[in-house]
């Protein structure tokens, strides 16, 4: 860890007041950034603590919810509106980390947490293109049990670790950004990048830009939604495969379907192909498996993660089957 | 261990076979077996309140003026040498007092290895430490930073630049087999066991199984990281350590630094978990060397990642087990061959080849194990070394055989229980696994078992499995204690013994109270410091029996000393030690309770404030004359998801035949803790060694999955509580047996649920998709 300065911001204006400095970093709950600093994966000269910025959860005009970036994971998961309207989000949050970490972690920080690829963290011992652009990747050819089967590149196959973001991705969530001069809104689907040749760029966030909050649109289908996380132990482990799904069945056919995957790609993965395959169809195990196959047709394994392809297929089918209930 | 040693042990065994049991230690059953007051009752741990309040001071918490903090730089290649080493930036960094490398480290001797012959040795990694530029494993320390704060030390460590010349390293288990070594001995047993004609029996058998089982490298993960606070004072080395080998550590450090034994003082009153991993490793030596160079006290606390790089674990194994049985399930051959990693610089055997020698009666045996040399950190003992992985292989094989024959696996085991040692023919001191099986089966409801489970709930298939666990009895010679009795009738028992959380002082206080005829509250126990009488290691589940023997020996001496001191003006006059017993705070005549005098009275009349005696655990000859093994019956109920392959253990039952239980509360905790560790071994834990460069890639609790609370089912533990007449207090050690058998019980239950036989641990979900 390198020495850094630290200040607390109590408003967005105050947070953005400092001179633009590329090594100044915003600090949320610190549940990932502090580890990254301690292990010298990242360095910062200055930290601006934004965990005390307004942390409200408010109704929006379209019937959705606005969630301040400083809202803690625990608070968001416990909000009765989340539980009633977006149960998949509440379940995703509660399946992440541990109670103590969720008490600290913020929504803004969760969006920006970085991969848990062990090679990414092994600063002295391993090469990593995400850490040092163009350095090479020691993960590929090494242990790839936790790595991506979708959206990876030859430079990087690290997975995005968040559970919350998988549910948010399925819900068409919009991220609100502010750099002091301009306020922007980006759909989460456009917020994250795929690694390509530049795995060190993970999002469209600009230097000095702050995540101020997220907007979750209203979604009737989400009332019937869930999140299932498959992992190497029952708690406190990252997803091998996770599935966030919402389904509304009308007149015997799927009227609305939302499906996103975690643990399989460098970003929370919206399963658009599977959704397209299901829209307007009658729910059935066969339809679910065909939809999963459509999504996974492009999946590529690296060796250690080959099991994720059949695992994703059967988990998608199991989750959709659960949501369809008697309709399937 | 050598051929010579095999000859000596074999010779002693032959002689002891002729010696009447009454002449040996344990020849007369310990009278306390029949006369327990405090022993056998539930007692809370006396260190509990201090630990809960944060009052117990661990090695990394000892306050000291002028302390320097340590950070380590680890090698990133498995074999080669340091070509360039630039410490300039680190030395110039704020707060840095010193950077130690092979260029400026003091001359250090190689630490003496942990062994059966010297109790003053605790070394695991028998290599020169920072004496040359050679790199022998990925993770070896190449530089040590001393700074005024931990943060400054950590920062400076990132500034050290090292360039290596890399040599081809041996990191692959499979490739190392070509150069496998076959040692003469494993611990004190002959490695190769050939009895009868196993090959012929396997060929002729009505039923046989023959399969290969694999267990990975497992790392130690005690909750307390390895740590030491070190000070040189007036030519003496003072080490506040976290160790389960106090005198071994002191003796080893004396050798490394060329000191006399009494110039090293090691203190370790509390240890946050040992499990075999808390002995002498490089870090204590490096800290002491750095403190010597800097002429200031030094604290070293290993980061979790450094624990993986510097502290060895349970060696990877590959074990072939072949079993033959007749039509009725009677075993006719047991073949157990295997390989495990043991680098040349490593000391500890992974003695899985001993597991199958005591479990079952069998006409023929063919057992041998081979060692593989890899360029990795030395392996070491880890709770139930040998038996933990050995029972996985053998007890999986037994389950496979039972399935093949179409027998209930419990019935198959009961059919083959031995009535004496299956190899040597020695009589058991005490052994009743059948009772453990009965108790466990009743508690668990084994009568629900079907040959192939048909039970399911939604996507979950339910399965039941069982397995035997086993661990040998051990008692160490040379364990000593001092008993002091004062004129107020209080007793203090002191020994450099170890408290790693299992209740050492709590149980020995109960023992001393009953031994000396005192109420519990009038006995104190002091342990955890080399200023106290010499103690053997807390290892091999031996500490309780060894302390038990030492306290017994000291108490006999105490009786003799007291009666001498009492002189002729006492109701005890004329009595000899054999006529005396401890009772009611003093001594009294056996069979004539009217002739008694209290400690206080004897001492006051003699004008003495107190009296002290020392006693020592004698040579454990009973271990050579009798077969002394504990056994367990482990039952597991679990569910496996058809959709995801996830395994959820829903119930565990362990029934133990371990002699007398001394404190049900601490014992239950030991059994349960061992079983939980067994679940981790079965399902989640695995050290990942990247063979390309010998780097451990699971060097954190994020990547190395120990079980969490949600992984744990209801765990019932019960015991036969039948005293072992050859063991002090009738008790055999219980620290390790809990882990044994669990992995096989889980694997067997997975088979019962799914029909899939997983023979390589851990049973992760990808193996069940």
Question: Under an 8 A CB cutoff, do B76 and A125 touch?
Answer: yes
Residue of A nearest to B710 (CA): A234
- Residue B733 — very low, low, confident or very high, per pLDDT cuts 50/70/90? very high
State which residue of chain A sits closest to B680, comparing Cα positions. Answer: A233
Q: What fold characterizes domain A5-50?
A: 3.30.43
Contacts 24+ apart (CB under 8 A), B234-237: B235/B263, B236/B263, B236/B264, B236/B265, B237/B263, B237/B264, B237/B265, B237/B288
B360: alpha, beta or left, given left = phi > 0 and alpha = psi -120 to 50? beta
Residue given tokens 């009447």 in the structure block: B20
Query: Which CATH superfamily is A224-327 part of?
Result: CO dehydrogenase flavoprotein, C-terminal domain (3.30.390.50)
For residue B116, the model assigns a pLDDT of 61
> Mind giving me the DSSP string for B404-415?
HHT--HHHHHHH
Q: Judge whether B50 lies within some domain.
A: no
A156 — pLDDT class (breaks 50, 70, 90): very high
Instruction: Name every residue whose Cβ is closer than 8 Å to that of residue B192 and which is 6 or more positions away in sequence.
Output: B182, B367, B368
B650-687, pLDDT tens digit by residue? 999 999 999 999 999 999 999 999 999 999 999 999 99
B140 touches chain A (CB under 8 A): no
Q: Which of A113, A124, A301 to mutate to test the interface with B (most CBs of B within 10 A)?
A: A124
**Sequence-ordered list of residues with C-beta below 8 angstroms from that of B194, at least 6 positions apart, any chain:** B365, B366, B367
Cα distance between residue B764 and residue B760, in whole Å:
10
What SS3 state is found at B613? strand
Distance between alpha carbon B35 and the CA centroid of its chain, in Å?
30
- Coil, strand or helix at A140: coil
Rounded to the nearest angstrom, the minimum Cα separation between B590 and chain A is: 59
What is the arithmetic mean of pLDDT over B293-320? Answer: 98
* CA atoms of A177 and A206, how far apart (whole Å): 9
- Among candidates B5, B225, B10, B221, which has minimal Cα distance to B115? B5
B215/A contact by beta carbon, under 8 A: no
Shared domain check, B320 and B255: no
Q: Tell me how many domains chain B contains.
A: 3
Whether the Cβ atoms of residue A319 and residue A226 lie closer than 8 Å to each other: yes
Which pLDDT band, with edges at 50, 70 and 90, does A105 fall under? very high
Q: How do the residues of chain A divide into helix, strand and coil, expressed in percent and rounded to 5? A: 30, 20, 50
- Domain pair A5-50 / A224-327, same fold: no
CA dihedral B671, B353, B248, B622 (to 10 degrees): 80
Which residues of B fall within a CB distance of 8 Å from A142?
690, 692, 697
Distance from CA of A241 to the nearest CA of B (A): 9
DSSP annotation of B136: -
Residues B65-94, mean pLDDT to the nearest whole number: 98
Average of per-residue pLDDT across B468-485? 97
Three-state secondary-structure class, residue B57? coil
Whether A3 has its CB under 8 Å from any CB of chain B: the answer is yes
Task: Decide if A235 and B711 are in contact by the 8 Å CB cutoff.
Answer: yes
- E strands present in B436-520: 456-457, 460-472, 480-486, 491-494
Q: Is B161 on the interface with A (CB under 8 A)?
A: no
Residue B558 CA to residue B644 CA, distance in Å, equals 65
* Residue B276: count of CB within 10 angstroms of its CB: 25
DSSP assignment letter at A72 = B
pLDDT band at A22 (very low <50, low <70, confident <90, very high): low
Beta-carbon contacts of residue B689 (< 8 Å; ≥ 6 apart): B171, B217, B376, B695, B696, B697
Phi, psi of B320 (to 5 degrees): -100, 125
Asked if B764 reaches chain A (Cβ–Cβ under 8 Å), the answer is yes
Measured between CB atoms, does A34 come within 8 Å of chain B?
Answer: no
- pLDDT at residue A321 above 80? yes
Model pLDDT, residue B17: 79
- Mean pLDDT of the B591-603 span: 95
In this structure, is residue B68 part of a structural domain? yes
Last residue of a domain, one of B555, B589, B619: B619
Task: Count chain A–chain B contacts defined by CB atoms under 8 A.
Answer: 90
The pLDDT value recorded for residue B20 is: 82
User: Where does a domain end: B604, B619, B634?
Assistant: B619
**Range from A3-7, B338-342, B387-391, B709-713 carrying the lowest mean pLDDT:** A3-7
- Cβ separation A38–B154 shorter than 8 A: yes
Of A219, A279, A278, A260, give the one whose Cα is nearest residue A86: A219
Average pLDDT over residues B125-142: 97
- Same domain, residue pair B556 and B653: no
pLDDT computed for residue A19 by the predictor: 62
Helix, strand, coil tally for chain B in percent (to 5): 30, 25, 45
- Whether residues B723 and B615 share a domain: the answer is no
**Quick one: B517 and B609 in the same domain?**
yes
pLDDT tens-digit series, residues B261-286: 999 999 999 999 999 999 999 999 99
Query: Does residue B176 belong to any structural domain of this protein?
Result: no
Residue bearing tokens 């008790």: B731
- Average pLDDT value for residue range B276-304: 98
Residue B48 lies in a domain: no
Query: If DSSP codes are grouped into helix, strand and coil, which group holds residue B568?
Result: coil
Cα dihedral across residues B437, B442, B443, B447: positive or negative: positive
Separation of alpha carbons A117 and A83, rounded Å: 31
pLDDT tier for residue B525 given thresholds of 50, 70 and 90? very high
Kindly state whether A315 is in contact with chain B, defined as any CB-CB distance less than 8 angstroms. Answer: yes
**Cα–Cα distance, B67 to B71 (Å, whole number):** 14
Residue B201 belongs to some domain of the structure: yes
Tell whether B345 and B438 lie within a shared domain.
Answer: yes
Question: What's the residue count for chain A?
Answer: 328
List of chain B residues whose C-beta atoms are within 8 Å of the C-beta of residue A145: 766
By C-alpha distance, the chain B residue nearest A312 is B644
The share of chain B scoring above pLDDT 90, in percent, equals 95
Query: Tokens 């405090």 identify what position?
Result: B38
> Does B703 reside within a domain?
yes
**Chain-chain contact of A143 with B705 (C-beta, under 8 angstroms):** no
Residue B509 and residue B515: Cα distance in Å, rounded? 10
DSSP state of A256: E
d(CA B593, CA B583): 9
pLDDT digits (tens, 9 = 90+) for B10-58: 877 888 878 888 878 888 999 999 999 999 999 999 999 999 999 999 9
What are the residues facing A227 on neighbouring strands? Answer: A244
Q: Which two tokens stand for residue A52?
A: 């005390």
Average pLDDT, chain B: 96
- Could you tell me if B577 and B614 lie in one domain? yes
pLDDT digits (tens, 9 = 90+) for A256-271: 999 999 999 999 999 9
Q: What is the DSSP string of B446-467?
A: GGG--SS---EETTEEEEEEEE
B27 inside domain:
no
Q: What is the DSSP string of B63-112?
A: --TT-EEEEEEE-SSSSEEEEEEE-HHHHHSTTEEEEE-TTTPPP-PPPP
Q: Do A143 and B94 touch (CB under 8 A)?
A: no
Kind plus residue range of the DSSP H or E element containing A312 = helix A308-324
pLDDT in tens, B407-449: 999 999 999 999 999 999 999 999 999 999 999 999 999 999 9
Chain A contact present for B691, CB below 8 A: no
The rounded distance, in Å, linking the Cα atoms of A106 and A211 is 11
- Would you call B705 and A237 a contact, using CB atoms and an 8 Å cutoff? yes
Q: How far is CA B432 from CA B287, B418, B630, B723, in A?
A: 49, 10, 9, 11
Estimate to the nearest angstrom the gap between the alpha carbon of B295 and the chain centroid: 36
The Cα B336–Cα B354 span in angstroms is 9
Mean pLDDT, rounded, for B542-557: 97
Q: What is the DSSP string of B341-394?
A: E--TTB-----GGGGGGTSS--S-EEEEEEEE--SSPPP---SSTTHHHHHHHH
Residue A121: DSSP 8-state: H
Section A74-96 average pLDDT = 98
Q: What is the mean pLDDT of chain A?
A: 96
B148 in contact with A, Cβ within 8 Å: no
Is residue B350 scored above 70 in pLDDT?
yes
User: Quick check: helix, strand or coil at residue A156?
Assistant: coil
Is the pLDDT score of A21 beyond 60?
Answer: no
Phi, psi of B627 (to 5 degrees): -80, 115
Sole residue written with tokens 């509440």:
A90
Which letter, b or e, does each residue of A142-152 get, where b requires 16 or more Cβ atoms within 10 Å of its Cβ? bbbbbbbbbbb
In this structure, what DSSP letter does residue B262 have?
A: G
pTM, full prediction: 0.98
Best CA proximity match to B585, nearest among B523, B506, B511, B510:
B523
Residue B4, pLDDT above cutoff 80: no
Average pLDDT over residues B461-470: 98
Strand residue runs (E) in B509-628: 523-526, 580-583, 586-589, 592-598, 610-616
Which residues lie across from B212 on neighbouring strands? B320
Residue B109 has pLDDT above 70, yes or no: yes
d(CA B457, CA B639): 9
Active site residue B152: no
B159, B254: one domain: yes
pLDDT digits (tens, 9 = 90+) for A197-231: 999 999 999 989 999 999 999 999 999 999 999 99
b vs e for B379-416, b when ≥16 Cβ sit within 10 Å of the residue's Cβ? bbbbbbbbbbbbbbbbbbbbbbbbbebebbbbebbebb
B226-235 mean pLDDT: 97
Task: Determine the pLDDT at residue B302.
Answer: 98
CA B694 – CA A206 distance, rounded (Å): 39
- In whole angstroms, give the CA distance from residue A38 to residue A51: 19
Domain that holds residue B762: 185-218+314-474+624-768
Domain boundaries, chain A: 5-50, 224-327
Digit-coded pLDDT (tens) for B386-396: 999 999 999 99
Which DSSP symbol is given to B224?
Answer: S
Q: Which residues of A touch B683 (CB under 8 A)?
A: 233
Paired tokens of B286 = 């490096």
Domain boundary among B619, B643, B666: B619
CATH number at residue B124: 3.30.365.10
Domain assignment present for residue B583? The answer is yes
Per the CB < 8 A criterion, the answer to whether B647 and B640 are in contact is yes
Copy the structure tokens of residue B146.
């001393």
User: From residue B316, how far is each of A289, B5, B122, B469 by CA, in Å?
Assistant: 39, 26, 22, 20
DSSP string, B232-259: EETTEEEEEE--S-HHHHHHHHHHHHT-
pLDDT of res. B36: 94
């Amino acid at each position: 860890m390198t020495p850094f300065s630290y200040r607390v911001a109590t408003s967005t204006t105050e947070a953005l007041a400092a001179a633009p400095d590329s090594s100044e970093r915003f600090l949320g709950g610190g549940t990932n950034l502090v580890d990254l600093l301690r292990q010298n994966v990242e360095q910062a000269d200055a930290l601006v603590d934004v965990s005390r910025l307004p942390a409200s959860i408010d109704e929006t005009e379209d019937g959705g919810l606005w969630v301040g970036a400083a809202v803690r994971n625990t608070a968001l998961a416990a909000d009765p509106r989340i539980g009633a309207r977006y149960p998949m989000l509440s379940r995703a949050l509660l399946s992440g980390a541990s109670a103590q970490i969720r008490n600290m972690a913020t929504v803004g920080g969760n969006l920006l947490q970085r991969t848990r690829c062990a090679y990414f963290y092994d600063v002295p011992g391993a090469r990593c293109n995400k850490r040092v652009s163009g350095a090479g990747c020691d993960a590929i050819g090494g242990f790839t049990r936790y790595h991506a089967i979708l959206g990876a590149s030859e430079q990087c196959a690290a997975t995005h670790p968040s559970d919350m973001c998988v549910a948010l991705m399925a819900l068409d969530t919009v991220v609100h950004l502010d750099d002091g001069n301009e306020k922007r809104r980006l759909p989460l689907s456009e917020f994250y990048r795929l690694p390509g040749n530049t795995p060190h760029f993970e999002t469209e966030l600009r230097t000095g830009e702050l995540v101020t909050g997220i907007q979750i649109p209203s979604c009737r289908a989400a009332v019937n939604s869930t999140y299932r996380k498959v992992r190497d132990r029952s708690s406190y482990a990252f997803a091998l495969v996770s599935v966030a799904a919402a389904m509304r069945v009308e007149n015997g056919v799927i009227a609305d379907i939302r499906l996103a995957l975690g643990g399989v790609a460098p970003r929370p993965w919206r399963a658009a192909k599977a959704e397209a395959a299901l829209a307007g169809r009658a729910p059935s195990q066969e339809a679910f498996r065909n939809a999963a196959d459509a999504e996974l047709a492009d999946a590529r394994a690296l060796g250690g993660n080959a099991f994720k392809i059949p695992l994703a297929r059967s988990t998608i089918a199991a989750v959709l089957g659960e949501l369809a209930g008697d309709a399937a | 261990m050598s051929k010579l040693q095999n000859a000596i042990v074999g010779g002693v065994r032959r002689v002891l076979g002729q010696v009447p049991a009454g002449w040996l230690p344990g020849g007369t059953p310990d009278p306390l077996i029949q006369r327990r007051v405090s022993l056998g009752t539930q007692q809370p741990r006396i260190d509990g309140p201090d630990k809960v309040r944060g009052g117990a001071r661990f090695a990394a918490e000892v306050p000291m003026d002028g302390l320097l903090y340590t950070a380590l730089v680890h090698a990133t290649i498995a074999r080669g040498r340091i070509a360039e080493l630039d410490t300039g930036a680190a030395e110039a960094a704020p707060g840095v007092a010193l950077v130690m490398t092979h260029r400026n480290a003091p001359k250090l001797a190689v630490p003496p290895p942990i062994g059966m012959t010297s109790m003053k040795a605790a070394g695991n990694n028998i290599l020169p430490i920072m004496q040359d530029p050679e790199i022998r494993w990925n993770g070896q320390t190449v530089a040590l930073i001393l700074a005024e704060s931990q943060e400054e030390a950590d920062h400076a460590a990132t500034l050290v630049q090292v360039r290596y010349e890399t040599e081809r390293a041996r990191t692959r288990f499979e490739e190392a087999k070509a150069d496998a070594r076959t040692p003469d001995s494993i611990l004190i047993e002959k490695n190769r066991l050939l009895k009868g004609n196993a090959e012929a029996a396997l060929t002729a058998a009505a039923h046989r199984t023959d399969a290969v089982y694999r267990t990975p490298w497992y790392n130690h993960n005690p909750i307390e990281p390895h740590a030491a606070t070190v000070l040189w004072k007036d030519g003496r080395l003072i080490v506040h350590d976290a160790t389960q080998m106090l005198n071994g550590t002191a003796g080893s450090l004396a050798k490394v630094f060329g000191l006399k034994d009494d110039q090293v003082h090691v203190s370790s009153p509390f240890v946050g978990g040992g499990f075999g991993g808390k002995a002498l490793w490089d870090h204590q030596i490096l800290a002491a060397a750095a403190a010597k160079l800097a002429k200031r006290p030094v604290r070293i606390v290993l980061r979790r990642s450094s624990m993986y790089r510097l502290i060895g674990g349970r060696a990877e194994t590959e074990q072939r087990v072949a079993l033959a049985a007749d039509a009725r399930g009677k075993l006719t051959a047991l073949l157990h061959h295997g390989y495990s990693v043991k680098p040349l610089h490593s000391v500890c055997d992974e003695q899985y080849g001993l597991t199958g020698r005591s479990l079952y009666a069998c006409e023929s045996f063919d057992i041998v194990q081979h060692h593989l040399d890899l360029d990795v950190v030395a392996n070491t003992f880890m709770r139930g070394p040998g038996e933990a992985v050995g029972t996985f292989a053998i007890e999986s094989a037994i389950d496979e055989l039972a399935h093949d024959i179409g027998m209930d696996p419990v019935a198959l085991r009961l059919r083959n229980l031995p009535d004496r040692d299956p190899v040597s023919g020695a009589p058991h001191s005490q052994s009743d696994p059948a009772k453990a099986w009965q108790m466990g089966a009743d508690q668990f409801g084994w009568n629900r078992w079907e040959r192939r489970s048909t039970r399911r709930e939604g996507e979950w298939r339910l399965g039941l499995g069982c397995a035997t666990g086993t661990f040998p009895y051990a008692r160490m010679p040379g364990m000593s204690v001092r008993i002091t009795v004062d004129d107020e009738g209080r007793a203090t028992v002191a020994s450099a013994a170890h408290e790693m959380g299992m209740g050492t002082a709590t149980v020995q206080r109960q023992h001393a109270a009953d031994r000396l005829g005192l109420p519990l509250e009038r006995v104190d126990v002091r342990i955890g410091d080399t200023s106290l009488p010499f103690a053997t290691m807390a290892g091999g589940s031996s500490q309780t029996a060894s302390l038990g023997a030492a306290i017994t020996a000291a108490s006999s001496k105490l009786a003799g000393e007291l009666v001498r001191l009492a002189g002729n003006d006492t109701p005890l006059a004329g009595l000899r030690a054999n006529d005396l017993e401890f009772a009611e705070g003093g001594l009294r005549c056996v069979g004539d309770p009217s002739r008694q005098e209290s400690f206080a009275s004897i001492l006051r009349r003699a004008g003495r404030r107190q009296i002290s005696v020392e006693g020592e655990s004698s040579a454990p000859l009973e271990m050579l004359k009798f077969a002394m093994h504990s056994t367990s019956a482990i039952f597991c109920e679990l569910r496996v998801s058809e959709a995801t392959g996830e395994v959820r253990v829903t119930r565990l039952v362990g029934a133990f035949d371990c002699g007398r239980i001394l404190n049900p509360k601490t014992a239950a905790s030991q059994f349960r803790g061992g079983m939980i560790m067994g679940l981790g071994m079965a399902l989640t834990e695995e050290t990942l060694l990247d063979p390309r460069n010998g780097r451990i890639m699971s060097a954190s609790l994020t990547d190395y999955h120990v079980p969490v609370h949600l992984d744990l089912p209801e765990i019932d533990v019960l015991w036969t509580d039948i005293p072992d007449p050859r063991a002090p207090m009738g008790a055999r050690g219980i620290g390790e047996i809990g882990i044994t058998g669990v992995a096989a019980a889980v694997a067997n239950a997975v088979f019962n649920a799914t029909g899939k036989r997983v023979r390589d641990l851990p049973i992760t979900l990808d193996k069940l998709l």
